[in-house]
Structure 1
């Protein structure tokens, strides 16, 4: 590059299928991360996704006037060629710009684009896979947009140049020349420059957005690209079956396995995107290890997921929230177990698991099996504790069960009757006291009130046991969760110390049974259990941590691996990690049952102290920290796309040390093989809490962390040397010690 490069203010486009379109967990990632990115980039940041008219009106506020001339010219040109879109502000914190393309407006070009994709990449696309068809159309539209936008941005006069070897220069704005640049030499895309031009970075999430990455590489667009996989397609399919996934990961014939499951074309798109990106990342070390063998490219680094952490001014505030939400759950329990409500709610603990209905991947099989063993252990130890275990996973249902609705109705009637009697009794006590005499207990209730109360109590009687499921299932006889519950005979019998409730629908405050949003429900519970077999990250235990709720996870989840690396003894901070990597299924089930049993033996004070410590770990998961990893990944992509930038920096300031740490090179050379490092520095973990547990101390090296070295066996075998070299060219000292003022209070709050 001979021209001056304005690398200080790059433009960032983030492309994902779930931008302003809630489908799965990536929506949470994008939405929660956006405020941090918007703060960093401001108006230079734009998210791109498909347009869904069901959600867009509630998520996006349209902008009629587009301020940027290159952007306006590009969108006007695309509109003239039949592309419909919605440009506006996403109605979330940070209010970032979003560009949503209507893929239906270009569906008439689908066959042409599918043929072109096969011609340039060899990726097949069956006609009956509608999701893949949508991904291809979306990918071509995104590549069209980025191609034309880069042309207009790099042209000083904001018009298409006439010396680009086109058969017709005026056709550049047409879809044919941009989508099928057969008349454009590949070098044209990268050789037309202007002085002081800004850089363009495009970050793609998941295979559904990956087609555009293949096209960008094929057309040699002057754009730095990043591809992040949040879970591999083939990995999810393999784990859902009865396969010893991690021990056989090196030996799978990926083409054959994907072909058997009829996802070969999707797998090709995902693998092509991973190989075409300048920087390839995953969300966890366990997924990085998986991606190396399934996608045949070792990830350049790990970008862990974060959350927007809202800290309370006083720690007792979130403890009060726990008490309030627990009482709401208590109300539901009284109704659900009417007629058999023979346990003390003060000695009752609420456990739960939640997420997508993936019976094996989410560890529901292990959860139910461990609950049966916990039930046995509680009986044998004559424990006074009762555990109510919830399973919150959406499944096909017809309606609520009559029994579940009746239980809430009779309890509502009883509650109203008692409330009315409380007022009457209060008046009688007041009148008696005003006359200077004690009230006669026999006269506190009138004969009429006694009859009404007896009717209410009689209505609570029933012969059947409390139901294990709250809905009428569409396929009750073949439901894996229900069949497993029946197999271990957890039927909510009076003798059972573990009661189980399967709620096959996501929670919301309008639910007639359990009128709580998911976050409120989590706050009211005592322990989250997520014994996942396949969990690239795991937002559910992370959300528990931020809300101060202890959780159980596994070392096969990204979150579990992350916490295992960051904390010396995670269990002391309310993060229990079950070993599913090197233990047998029997050993893992027993370990999970013991974790839950040990939790039931804690006193109320011990649980309060543990919740305090768990909540203090939330800083580890804050996007203000996790976002730094995204910053570094973007700069690595820039350096790989434009290596001249590092030379320009050196010319501007020869005396400036661009290494992340002046001792990092020496440390890396002297460090013994296999020792855990963060870019060549010894990794210090959050220490084990003292006898009077205090807040975890944030690692001094967190702000300089870049792509941790994977452990042998438990992690991948190492970060690529080229990534370390790229990072050492950067001067990111401004990120150093941003958590130096972390509050390290060693005193626990009392209840």
Structure 2
């Protein structure tokens, strides 16, 4: 009888037997020989290895003498045990005998019955011969970590008399491996991970083709418009989905309708809730992770995690040729990682944290986070904030993965102290950079979209619109409403100081600062709507008068003869036109100041942004050189006040300001860079650390980095104010040139470059899982010290040039070269052409050179690149982490 597979473990059936000269002889199935035990008393792994052989006591029995079956239905699964066939007439047919066992708070039945069951089971329960009395004295409970806990087995065990074998190590093809990416935002926009997966899909699909599948929970509303349902062609996928469907789990397999069209498999978590209580008990027993009943988000994570572990276990059983790599994003998808580790599912795992739960909560609590990381009692801090169970899931996932990664060096430093594992490397987030056909089309788009913002400003500030649009600059910040984490407190304080400096300097420049962050609102503000209505009314009136004047002037010009005076303005503006125009002008009178916020807030007295604006007295007074507009809603073209999509709005602005205190990566400044808009970020954001480490004099190319790591709060605010003041002092020509240089940095953020770090992470994970497959491997494409290059994008001119050895941004090579033999060679050769307008900026851009760091230094700083050493954790070590 060949071994079967369930929950990531190979099981085999061994019958009770006596060795006699006549061969196997049945022992019967009397109730006295049947009792129930839990899996803690089971051997560590399957006792059958290889086709056609059963091993015990160093001898084997041919499987053609396989015993027939008994069955037990446990956890909704049909488990089958066996009785020996015996000689004709030896087997007694009898009615079913049942025994009960209490496991994880549930009652399960062990059934014995006549050996006439027809269906093939998902698993076999291991049986041995009846132990002798003296053997029972030496019975020991063996080491056990990877068996499912919720099942029942019948008949006694003589563990001391068995030769146990570990799970068979399948020789898998690591070159043509299968890749699964697991996240809760697959075809389901919730946060930044959706952007990561969506923008990266084209590059990953080009590399893997149909061997790449994304796994996520099913959101039927978003899936209806984002996923085209298909029939899977991979036999292993077909068999796995069929097996899960037969047990009540509904899935949706199809094509994600984005660039690259990757395959997705979405699990209907609602169909798995019938096992939620059981899975919660198992999670506690397996990993010591608690789960409160009233946390819906955690319940979803548990159900989704168990479904993913179930899927991976079934899939690797059916897929026996290729290696399987699974990458998990964030703690919500991380429940499956300790399950895969405990069950020893033959899958290579990577866990990527995009931010730590505890870090986000601590930073929002006004603590000196980065200078006290090593002193936090993580368990106590998580418990005080009611997130201990979530923290346990995140930490367990980090320790159970073969390779642990983060999105930036600053987050790696944080993860080492909070999650207690040093990351193996950094996987920076990239973008799917889209170039325009015309070299400087983005400059034209800036002008077009700036004019649309001008229209909004004219309406919003009607009655006090006494500033020149040609001398007005638009600054903005955007993101989730995290007042302190996103640095909004620092931004508003800097605006107040900037306003004072501009007035003191007698500047005629005006800054309109937008804050785009969703908050709780009831409706659009009447004043904001009235401003746009007044503007539209005035625009329509002037357009009508302009049309009439043009028609009259045209007719007069046609009637002109030589010797007559040329047509002039006399009589062009009729009395009716003057009255109508006067009405519109009177409607623009305003006694109050222009509003700060465009919406009616639910509780504006307690809103931290509005309260700080009040403290700083930024009230949009006519004498203020800095005006503030708070738009507490995401931008969309259907908005009646500011009808612009976010991308169009960004293109029309002059400077993005993202003075974040907690920002693991920071897509907003990266998006500004791709669209040619200069931005201000900090060295506490992943993007800021990346650009600061990669580029010398980054601000020459429109990337201003505020030091929030080593400076005090007041010094950081002054530095931000200085950056904005100096930017205002630039000429229009200098700003145009800077936008050109900023846009050229987009190649540094392209997934064609960033994706190399994902490639190296997967190769590192495969090396750890299948070290023998890489011994003596000299073929290119594996990171064994050979040079690997990716092609230069067919893009516009002027990408930065490296003057010395440059590595790809995540530094997997430097982190792992001593242990894994990864390369530290250049991956891209950059070249910068001559600049069309030379001013004070040095050229060409110099990318910082990097030196390889050893793993043994033990030095860990936020930005020094030595994030972690390769940690080959045993299952015992990972188990201790739980």
TM-score normalised to the size of structure 2? 0.73
- Structure 1 residues 626 and 239, CA, compared in 2 at 3 Å: closer, same or farther? same
Which of 53, 57, 66 is matched with 2:220 structurally? 53
Corresponding residue of 1:82 = 248
Corresponding residue of 2:362 = 238
Aligned counterparts, 1:585-596, within 5 A: 585-596=713-724
2:338–2:397 Cα contact (<8 Å) kept: yes
1:107 aligned counterpart, secondary structure: helix
Distance 2:299 2:362 in 1: 23
- For structure 1, list consecutive stretches of 5 or more residues without a partner in the other structure: 155-196, 665-692, 710-718
Corresponding residue of 2:400 = 276
1:208 aligned counterpart, secondary structure: helix
Aligned counterparts, 1:22-61, within 5 A: 22-61=189-228
2:811 aligned with 1:645, yes or no? no
Corresponding residue of 2:443 = 319
Corresponding residue of 1:671 = none
Corresponding residue of 1:537 = 665
Higher helix share: 1
Using the TM superposition, give the Cα deviation of residue 108 of structure 1 relative to its aligned residue in structure 2, in angstroms. 1.1
2:424 aligned with 1:336, yes or no? no
- Structure 1 residues 72 and 656, CA, compared in 2 at 3 Å: closer, same or farther? closer
Corresponding residue of 1:345 = 469
Corresponding residue of 1:712 = none
2:388 aligned with 1:264, yes or no? yes
Which of 780, 785, 796 is matched with 1:660 structurally? 785
Using the TM superposition, give the Cα deviation of residue 620 of structure 1 relative to its aligned residue in structure 2, in angstroms. 0.5
2:234 aligned with 1:130, yes or no? no
Distance 1:440 1:311 in 2: 49
Corresponding residue of 2:833 = 745
Q: How many residues align?
A: 660
2:511 aligned counterpart, secondary structure: strand
Distance 2:766 2:568 in 1: 84
Corresponding residue of 2:42 = none
Corresponding residue of 1:192 = none
Which of 474, 489, 494 is matched with 2:622 structurally? 494
- Structure 1 residues 369 and 725, CA, compared in 2 at 3 Å: closer, same or farther? same
- Structure 1 residues 700 and 143, CA, compared in 2 at 3 Å: closer, same or farther? farther
Using the TM superposition, give the Cα deviation of residue 743 of structure 1 relative to its aligned residue in structure 2, in angstroms. 5.4
2:605 aligned counterpart, secondary structure: helix
- Structure 1 residues 388 and 729, CA, compared in 2 at 3 Å: closer, same or farther? closer
1:511 aligned counterpart, secondary structure: coil
2:754–2:809 Cα contact (<8 Å) kept: no
1:625–1:703 Cα contact (<8 Å) kept: no
TM-score normalised to the size of structure 1? 0.85
Aligned counterparts, 1:255-404, within 5 A: 255-404=379-528
1:300–1:707 Cα contact (<8 Å) kept: no
Distance 2:776 2:287 in 1: 35
2:371 aligned counterpart, secondary structure: helix
Aligned counterparts, 1:410-489, within 5 A: 410-436=534-560, 437-489=565-617
Aligned counterparts, 1:497-508, within 5 A: 497-508=625-636
Using the TM superposition, give the Cα deviation of residue 514 of structure 1 relative to its aligned residue in structure 2, in angstroms. 0.8
1:315–1:612 Cα contact (<8 Å) kept: no
2:316 aligned counterpart, secondary structure: helix
Distance 1:337 1:521 in 2: 18
2:796 aligned with 1:629, yes or no? no
Q: Which has the higher contact order (CA 8 A, sep 6+)?
A: 1
Distance 1:318 1:743 in 2: 21
Distance 1:111 1:479 in 2: 40
2:635–2:644 Cα contact (<8 Å) kept: yes
2:697 aligned with 1:697, yes or no? no
2:140 aligned with 1:16, yes or no? no
Q: Deviations over 1:112-165 (max 9, x none)?
A: 0000000011000010111001100000000000001111112xxxxxxxxxxx
2:777 aligned counterpart, secondary structure: helix
Distance 1:301 1:363 in 2: 27
Distance 1:705 1:241 in 2: 31
Distance 2:575 2:800 in 1: 61
Corresponding residue of 1:707 = 811
- Structure 1 residues 658 and 443, CA, compared in 2 at 3 Å: closer, same or farther? closer
Distance 1:696 1:428 in 2: 57
Using the TM superposition, give the Cα deviation of residue 203 of structure 1 relative to its aligned residue in structure 2, in angstroms. 0.2
- Structure 1 residues 658 and 289, CA, compared in 2 at 3 Å: closer, same or farther? closer
Distance 1:539 1:505 in 2: 18
Using the TM superposition, give the Cα deviation of residue 54 of structure 1 relative to its aligned residue in structure 2, in angstroms. 1.8
Using the TM superposition, give the Cα deviation of residue 645 of structure 1 relative to its aligned residue in structure 2, in angstroms. 1.2
1:316–1:749 Cα contact (<8 Å) kept: no
Distance 2:496 2:533 in 1: 30
Please identify, of 640-649 and 272-281, the stretch whose mean Cα deviation from structure 2 is larger: 640-649
RMSD: 2.1
Corresponding residue of 1:724 = 817
- For structure 2, list consecutive stretches of 5 or more residues without a partner in the other structure: 1-167, 789-796, 839-882
Corresponding residue of 1:678 = none
Distance 1:315 1:544 in 2: 18
